[in-house]
Chain A
Amino acid sequence: GQQVMQIPQYQHVQEGEDFTTYCNSSTTLSNIQWYKQRPGGHPVFLIQLVKSGEVKKQKRLTFQFGEAKKNSSLHITATQTTDVGTYFCAGRLLGNFNKFYFGSGTKLNVKP
Chain B
Amino acid sequence: GAVVSQHPSWVICKSGTSVKIECRSLDFQATTMFWYRQFPKQSLMLMATSNEGSKATYEQGVEKDKFLINHASLTLSTLTVTSAHPEDSSFYICSARRDRGPTGEQFFGPGTRLTVL
Contact = CB atoms under 8 A, between A and B. Distances in A.
Interface string B94-108: 010100001101111
Interface string A71-112: 000000000000000001010100001111111110100000
Contacts of B60: 1
Q: Give the dominant DSSP class at B's interface.
A: strand
Contacts, number: 59
A45 B44 contact: no
B75 interface: no
A104 B43 contact: yes
Contacts of B54: none
18 contacts: A2-B45, A2-B46, A6-B43, A30-B102, A30-B103, A33-B105, A33-B106, A43-B106, A43-B108, A48-B105, A88-B43, A88-B44, A97-B102, A98-B32, A98-B102, A99-B46, A102-B43, A102-B44
Interface of B: 32, 34, 36, 41-46, 49, 60-61, 93, 95, 97, 102-103, 105-111
